[in-house]
Amino acid sequence: MASCEAARDRLCDPAAEVSAHYLVGPDGHVIQMVEEDQRAWHAGAGAWGATRDVNSRSIGIELSNDGASPFAAAQMDALERLLPGILARHGIPPARVIGHSDMAPGRKVDPGPRFDWARLARRGLAISVTPEGGDMDDSAFAATMAQAGYTATEDPGTLLCALRLRHRPWATGPRDATDAGLARALARRFGVDGAKAGA
């Protein structure tokens, strides 16, 4: 959306059939739009791990951004203040802090390549992994990505785009050993941390 106000208005418009628990503006202002014990409609069709109805099993945070600009420092600061309480209240491990592009690959691309996932990972609010091992074929890659939580699609190309959007947004070209190694490391990490949230 062009502005935080436009995003707020859309999230409050019944005709849009979309909502979120929180909206964070570029200036760091946080608006709670839905109580955490209520369902919001931010995720839509998608999946993460064994969860097929992500709306019913998640806290949705929308960050006001036009999709091309960097996320403002005040906005990231506010997100870092907001997340720890949510994770503690709901027993959410860092491996379960995901973007819409993770749970709906190919359909959603937010928060996009400009979002600083590494910053959240450094503060223990998301995960970052080091690649493990070499390349693999398409079927093994799809299976490994499913083990890492990416269960909304089995298409290797779509999964590669989702992986890179989150963990390697500067990468181009065909899948390589680094992509495969990231998938392996994510599968191992999700296998440990995902179970804590009832994967």
Enumerate the active-site residues: 62
Tell me how far apart the alpha carbons of residues 173 and 188 are, in angstroms, rounded to a whole number: 25
3-class DSSP assignment, residue 133: coil
Bridge partners of 154, per DSSP, are none
CA-CA distances (angstroms) from residue 189 to 57, 94, 98?
Answer: 20, 10, 14
> Residue 170's Cα: distance from chain center in Å?
17
What is the chain's length?
Answer: 199
Pairing of strands 30-32, 22-24: antiparallel
Dig out the tokens for 161 from the structure. Answer: 């785009």
Tell me how far apart the alpha carbons of residues 108 and 69 are, in angstroms, rounded to a whole number: 17
